[in-house]
Amino acid sequence: MEKLTKDLKENVQYFKGLFKDCDDILFREIEIGDEHKVKIIAIFVDGMANKEFVSDSAIQSLFWKDDLNHIPVDETYELFFNRIFKEAIASAELKKEDKIETIIDNILSGDTALLVENMDKCIVIGSRDGPSRSIEEPKTETVIRGPRDGFNEIMKFNLALVRRRIKDPKFKVKFKQVGRRSRTTVAVLYIDDIVDKKLLDEVKKRLDNVDIDAVLDSAILENLIEDNYLSPFPQVENTERPDSVAAALYEGRVGLIVDNSPFALIVPATMGTLIQSSEDYYERWSQTTIIRIIRIIAMFLSFTAPALYIAITAYHPGLLPTKLIYFLAASRINVPFPSVVEAILMELTMELLREAGTRVSGPIGSTIGIVGGLIIGQAAVDAGIVSPLMIIIVAVTTISTFAIPSYEMATGFRTVRFTFIALAGVLGLYGVVLGIIVLLSHFIILSSFGIPFTSPFSGLGIEEGDLKDTLVKAPIQRLWLRPGFTNPKNKRRMRGHKK
């Protein structure tokens, strides 16, 4: 059956057959009219639809509206149906529908369908109201200064949070359904007169090409639409903060909000954008500049620190000051392992602690931190299994990964770190440099929705002055133009310099 038929019984039979064994789907049969009776059946999902709202504004008003119950004998069902639609139901969101597929979609999303006797149409009442969490502070991206609201799992709230920041009719929200079974709604967000049309088309094309049965979180969608899914590095940015999404839209990028996920996606993501954090824009520029540079150093250390330690201790001790070499040799004198084994051992322990600490939260988590970090570290040094300097290196490496704003980027670096340790063990400093060559090659080859991942460091957007907001951050007054790498239609943010 594609469309509803005139026969109510047949329709109801069809839906009952379809929703067989779905005990959470409720069928409410009502009868109105004094002499002449008309049967109406409401179908909705318990818990997804707001039951109170359905009873108050639909069922109750059908029962109590006097003139509705005096049905003239000569009135056709069509007229009666229109009367209900126009006069009886007090709901802001109401539509007529006859396509079964759409009706099923609506019911399963929490709407209520009213099937009326002898009509091949039904009324769909927008009654979506699932369980939800309140707006909380984002857990992964906390700021000292700046807005504290974060996304939750309900898309319409998330959209409202963004819309509140862009009160412009040019801000567009396009819905798309993804997932054959999960039927997850994805909202494509963009500002029409800023975004590059080519980028937008590419995003839409990739969303259309997604073929999977369920999209449970935006992370799954992210993997499905990114350029190179084999890469350890993300090519899509994700954020829990509505202000980050709004800022990205103003830069001419495209946002994706996936229903049931508190993480919005932003494309394209480049090296320049992945080292930015939303707080950068709320702090003074000098502060931010220093922090950005520290982040770059952290990024570098997060994958090279243990490798450099190995390379220098095992291959090139001559590079260090003489006193430091003596200290190093003295501290390693009791260590039975070569520094590669030492490094891999400690890095693995650290990963273990990190993983255990993430899985259990709260007080137990901090216990793991204390037991792992302090006690094991101290004991390992006392027992002479590792040198104290190695502990320092491992700690610095781990802390460095936390200083990278993008968690996915940090995980990427964590993954390649072991390769670097191995390379340093085999070829020393030369091995580390070879590793850097391959890693840089990978970054240079990588692209995000057709835009080079290394932008703006590899040329794209340099002429527009993109460097002003990467390694350094110029004062807001100096950022006249939107970043050039997104090729925005409207380039100017503010009046200012003539150029």
Q: Taking CB under 8 A as the criterion, which residues in 310-329 touch another protein?
A: 312, 315-316, 318-322
- Shorter beta-carbon distance to another protein: residue 69 or 289: 289
Structure tokens that stand for 88 in this block: 């009886």
Quick one: CA torsion of 459, 417, 406, 394, rounded to 10 degrees? -130
- From 293, 438, 476, 494, residue interacting with another protein (rule: CB under 8 A): 438
Asked if 91 touches another protein (CB under 8 A), the answer is no
Q: Which of 166, 173, 216, 462 binds another protein (CB under 8 A)?
A: 462
CA–CA separation, 320 and 317 (whole Å): 6
Q: Provide the minimum distance between the beta carbon of 433 and another protein in the complex, in angstroms, as a whole number.
A: 4
φ and ψ at 256, to 5 degrees?
-130, 125
Among residues 223, 441, 475, 476, which is the contact residue for another protein, using CB under 8 A? 441
Stretch that binds another protein, among 73-81, 133-141, 401-409, 450-458 (CB under 8 A): 450-458
Q: How far is the CB of 446 from another protein (least distance, A)?
A: 10
Q: Does 422 bind another protein (CB under 8 A)?
A: no
Stretch that binds another protein, among 27-35, 117-125, 207-215, 453-461 (CB under 8 A): 453-461
| Residue number, 389 or 460, with CB nearest to another protein | 460
Q: Is 230 in the site for another protein (CB under 8 A)?
A: no
Q: Which is nearer to another protein, 57 or 448 (CB)?
A: 448
Question: Is there a contact between 211 and 199 (Cβ–Cβ < 8 Å)?
Answer: no
Least spacing, CB of residue 393 vs another protein, in Å: 14
Q: Which residue lies nearer to another protein by CB, 440 or 494?
A: 440
As a whole number of angstroms, the distance between CA 200 and CA 391 comes to: 48
Which residue from 329, 348, 379, 440 is in contact with another protein, where contact means CB under 8 A? 440
Q: Residue 251: how many CA atoms within 13 Å on its side-chain side?
A: 25
Give the separation between CA 277 and CA 224, rounded to whole angstroms.
Answer: 25
Pattern 22-51, another protein, x by CB under 8 A: ------------------------------
Query: Please, are residues 47 and 131 in contact by the beta-carbon 8 Å criterion?
Result: yes
Q: Determine if 489 is a binding residue for another protein (CB under 8 A).
A: no
What is the DSSP annotation of 185-229?
Answer: EEEEEEETTTS-HHHHHHHHHHHHH---S---SHHHHHHHHSS-T
Among 23, 34, 213, 463, binds another protein (CB under 8 A): 463
CB neighbours of residue 322 within 10 Å: 9
DSSP characters for 13-66?
HHHHHHTTT-TTEEEEEEEE-SSS-EEEEEEEEBTTB-HHHIIIIIIIHHHH-H
Residue 430 within binding range of another protein, rule CB under 8 A: yes
Q: How far is the CB of 438 from another protein (least distance, A)?
A: 5
- Residue 279 DSSP symbol: G
Provide the terminal-to-terminal Cα distance of the chain, rounded to the nearest Å.
Answer: 63
To another protein, the closest distance from the beta carbon of 251 in angstroms equals 19
CB under 8 Å to 270, separation ≥6 — which residues?
A: 448, 451, 452, 453, 454, 455, 456, 485
Q: How many residues bind another protein (CB under 8 A)?
A: 37
CA dist 361 and 359 (Å) reads: 6
User: How distant is the alpha carbon of residue 276 from its chain centre?
Assistant: 16
Q: How far is CA 279 from CA 74, 95, 238, in A?
A: 68, 43, 15
Q: 338, 450, 475, 496: which one contacts another protein (CB under 8 A)?
A: 450
Q: Which residues of 4-15 are buried (b: 16+ CB within 10 A; e: fewer)?
A: beeebeebbeeb
> What whole-number distance in Å separates Cα of residue 108 and Cα of residue 46?
10
Using rule CB under 8 A, residue 465 touches another protein: no
User: Cα separation of 189 and 249, whole Å?
Assistant: 8
Least Å distance, CB 325 to another protein, is 10
Task: Find the part of the chain contacting another protein (CB under 8 A) among 19-27, 31-39, 309-317, 380-388.
Answer: 309-317
Interface residue with another protein among 108, 434, 472, 474 (CB under 8 A) is 434
x/- mask, another protein, residues 161-200, rule CB under 8 A, reads: -------------------------------------x--
CB of 444 to another protein, least distance (A): 5
Residues 118-137 touching another protein, rule: CB under 8 A, are none
Rounded to an integer, what distance in angstroms lies between the CA atom of residue 204 and that of residue 193? 17
The 10 Å Cβ neighbour count of residue 462 is 14
User: Which region, judged by CB under 8 A, interacts with another protein, from 168-176, 179-187, 283-291, 455-463?
Assistant: 455-463
Tell whether residue 359 is a contact of another protein (CB under 8 A). Answer: no
**Which residue stretch of 29-37, 279-287, 364-372, 457-465 sits at the interface with another protein (rule: CB under 8 A)?**
457-465
- Give the single-character DSSP code of 465: T
Contacts with another protein by CB under 8 A lie at: 198, 202, 312, 315-316, 318-322, 427-434, 436-438, 440-445, 449-450, 452, 454, 457-460, 462-463
